[in-house]
Amino acid sequence: MRITFVSPAVNLGGGTRVIVVYAKALARMGHAVRVVSPPPGAVPFRRKVKSFLKGNGWPADPLALRSHLDGGGLDHHVLDRWRPVADDDVPDADVVIATWWETAEWVNALSPTKGAKVYFIQHHEVFPYLPVSRCHATYRLPMHKIVIARWLKELMSTQYADDVVDLVPNSVDRGQFFSAVRGKQSVPTAGFLYSTTPFKGLDVLLAAIRVLRRKIPNLRLICFGAELPSAAMPLPEKAEFSCSPPQDQIRNLYSQCDVWMTASRSEGFNLPAMEAMACRTPVVSTRTGWPEEAIETGKNGILVNVGDVEGLARGAERILSLSADEWKGWSQCAYETTCSGSWQESARKFESALVHACRRSMNGEIAGRSVFMRSAAYRRSTGTAR
C-alpha cells in the first residue's frame, strides 16, 4: 500500500512517537510510507517577553526543537510554513491518515485520489483550550476510525454512533523498557512525568507530592519531561529533573523508582505508566486511559479518582511502605501486566485496519478512494493471485 500520515508539528510527545512506530513498521512490511506535517508555529514576540517576565525563560526557537522523527530514516515532508496540509502536499495513495483533530479537517478536504480516509484517534480531543465544536465535528467525518483504547472505541459508539471502529492498542518496546528483578531503593523514590499540558494534572500531582513529603520527609523524586520546569509550576525541592533525556536512558529513570505517579484528568492511553511497569515499577494513577484498564489495586499499583490529591499521596505512601518482599511481589505483577502483546503485533493489527479502510472506501462507506483492493499486492496477501 501507499500510505500517508498527516501529522501536526512533530515533537517528542507520545502521540508523535506512536505515529513513528507505525510508520516505521509499515515501511518494514514493504509499504510505501510518507509522513507530512507543518513546521512548528512561530512563538509571537509578545508571548516570548511574557514568558521571560514570568520567570519561565525565553522560549526556544520551535524549529530547533527535537522530535521522534529525527534521524529515523522515514520519508518526512515538512511544509514550507505552518498552514493546513493541501492536495499539492500529499501524494496520490491508497490510504491517508489523520492523526489529530485539526489534521482530520485537512484530510477531509483532500481529493479522493489521496486514498481511503482514516482517522487515527489517540485521545478524545475536546479540551476547553481547543475549539470544542470543531473537535466534536471531526469524529463525525466520513472516515474509518482506528483507536488505541477500549474506552475510545466505546465512546465512538455511544457518542458518535460509529460502531465500525478498529481497536489497535499501544504496546511497549521491551527491548527499550525493561529491568532485571530488583528490590526497593535504599531511599524511598517516586517518579513522575513533568508536563504542563492541562489534562496531565501536574498541579494535582505536585499537591500530592507535598502531602507525601510530609509523611516521608526523605522522599527522593525523579522526573523528566520535554519542557523545562516553569515558575508557575516549580519542581519540588531537590527533585532530579531530566529534560528530553535520550530514549535509551529513560529506562534507567523508571528503574530507579519504587513508585510511578500519574494524576491525569484525562488520557488517551498513558504510555509512561506502561513503560514504568515494564521496568518493574508499580504505578499510582487516576482512573484514566490504559491504567484504568490495567491496574489492579493491591497487586500492581493503585487507582484513585481524578483530582484526588489525598488518594494519590496515600497510594504512593502505601507502596513505599511495603516490606521488601511485598514490594517485589507488586513489582513482578507490574512487569507481568505489560508482557502480553507487542508493537509488532499492534503493527499487524494497524495494517489490517488500513486494509479494512480500503475495503470500506471501495464500498462507498467512507470518503476517499483506494485501488489497493484491486492490486496484485492485495491478491498475493489474500492468496487470490492468479
Q: Give residue limits of the domains in the chain.
A: 2-171+342-382, 189-337
Gap between the Cα atoms of 368 and 355, Å rounded: 13
Q: From first to last of the 386 residues of the chain, give the pLDDT tens digit.
A: 999 999 999 988 889 999 999 999 999 999 999 999 999 865 554 554 455 455 555 445 454 467 788 877 899 999 999 999 999 999 999 999 999 999 999 999 999 999 999 999 999 999 999 999 999 999 999 999 999 999 999 999 999 999 999 999 999 999 999 999 999 999 999 999 999 999 999 999 999 999 999 999 999 999 999 899 998 999 999 999 999 999 889 999 999 999 999 999 999 999 999 999 999 999 999 999 999 999 999 999 999 999 999 999 999 999 999 999 999 999 999 999 999 889 999 999 999 999 999 999 999 999 999 887 666 555 555 554 44
Q: How far is CA 247 from the centre of its chain?
A: 15
Are 334 and 300 in contact by the 8 Å Cβ rule? The answer is yes
Gap between the Cα atoms of 288 and 201, Å rounded: 11
CA angle 101, 367, 364 (to 5 degrees): 145
Paired strand residues for 261:
192, 284
Q: What pLDDT, on a 0 to 100 scale, did the predictor assign at position 58?
A: 45
Do the domains spanning 2-171+342-382 and 189-337 agree at the CATH topology level?
yes
Gap between the Cα atoms of 114 and 370, Å rounded: 8
Q: What pLDDT, on a 0 to 100 scale, did the predictor assign at position 247?
A: 83
pTM of the model: 0.87
Q: What pLDDT, on a 0 to 100 scale, did the predictor assign at position 63?
A: 45
Superfamily name and number for 2-171+342-382: Glycogen Phosphorylase B; (3.40.50.2000)
Distances (CA, A) of 353 to 117, 121, 349, 366: 12, 13, 6, 13
Q: What pLDDT, on a 0 to 100 scale, did the predictor assign at position 45?
A: 45
For residue 384, what are the contacts with CB-CB under 8 A and spacing of at least 6?
Answer: none
Are 25 and 350 in contact by the 8 Å Cβ rule? The answer is yes
Q: Which CATH class is domain 189-337?
A: alpha beta
Q: What pLDDT, on a 0 to 100 scale, did the predictor assign at position 68?
A: 81
Q: What pLDDT, on a 0 to 100 scale, did the predictor assign at position 286?
A: 98
Number of other CB atoms surrounding residue 42 within 10 Å: 13
Taking alpha carbons only, the member of 198, 190, 195, 213 closest to residue 283 is 190
3-state helix/strand/coil string of the chain: CEEEEECCCCCCCHHHHHHHHHHHHHHHCCCEEEEEECCCCCCCHHHHHHHHHCCCCCCCCHHHCCCCCCCCCCEEEECCCCCCCCHHHCCCCCEEEECCHHHHHHHHHCCHHHCEEEEEECCCCCCCCCCHHHHHHHCCCCCEEEECCHHHHHHHHHHHCCCCEEECCCCCCCCCCCCCCCCCCCCCEEEEECCCCHHHCHHHHHHHHHHHHHHCCCCEEEEEECCCCCCCCCCCCCCEEEECCCHHHHHHHHHCCCEEEECCCCCCCCHHHHHHHHCCCCEEEECCHHHHHHCCECCCEEEECCCCHHHHHHHHHHHHCCCHHHHHHHHHHHHHHCCCCCHHHHHHHHHHHHHHHHHHHHCCCCCCCCCHHHCHHHHHHHCCCC
Question: What is the crossing angle of helices 202-215 and 309-320, to 10°?
Answer: 50
How many Cα atoms within 13 Å fall on the side-chain side of residue 367? 21
